[in-house]
Amino acid sequence: MDRYKKLNIYDMYPNRGELELGMNTVDPTLSANVVNNTDLGNMFFNMLVGGSYQPFNQDNRINRRVGMSTGMGNMGINAMLDEYGKSANAYAGPLYANVTETENDELIKSLGLQGNNFNANITQTPENTRYGVQGLLSNIFGGNLSAEAFKDDNDKGLQFLFNKRF
């Protein structure tokens, strides 16, 4: 079970600093991050430096990490680097692009469009390239009817989903 606590350590405009402390009791882990948030009026710039300690993980007891994000309005970029992988993301309105390198040195690339009722994406991994389109068809019977069409190197299909909360 994860437990988190966030403490404000300074607030000097345009910068605000936070200390994030975390603990997982199921998979014993202690975590700490120092975050600096900078408000530049119509723009932001945030930095994170931290790490975690996992006493029972023989392969990686200490996991250091660093991250940053910047943007304005509905455009931005962010990046994260830790012992398990590297990732960079960019977005401009409904368009997005992601690149991730996993701990096994696999490169995953994704490009897409995400709207309120319509999504389209292309995801490329070392094993496969997948093309997908999802859309909300209708609100009926108190739920949502959506459809997804996809094609990848091994398969293609059309799926319909009806989702209703009780």
**What span, in angstroms and rounded, lies between the C-alpha atoms of 129 and 73?**
31
**pLDDT tens string 7-21:** 999 999 999 999 999
Among candidates 109, 123, 119, 127, which has minimal Cα distance to 151? Answer: 123
**What span, in angstroms and rounded, lies between the C-alpha atoms of 149 and 166?**
27
Please give the pLDDT value at position 103.
84
Mean pLDDT calculated for residue range 32-37: 96
- Global pTM reads 0.76
Write down the mean pLDDT value for the chain. Answer: 93
Mean pLDDT calculated for residue range 156-164: 92
Is it the case that residue 115 has pLDDT exceeding 80? yes
Looking at 68-148, list the stretches that DSSP marks H as alpha helix, in order from N- to C-terminal side.
none
**What span, in angstroms and rounded, lies between the C-alpha atoms of 90 and 80?**
12
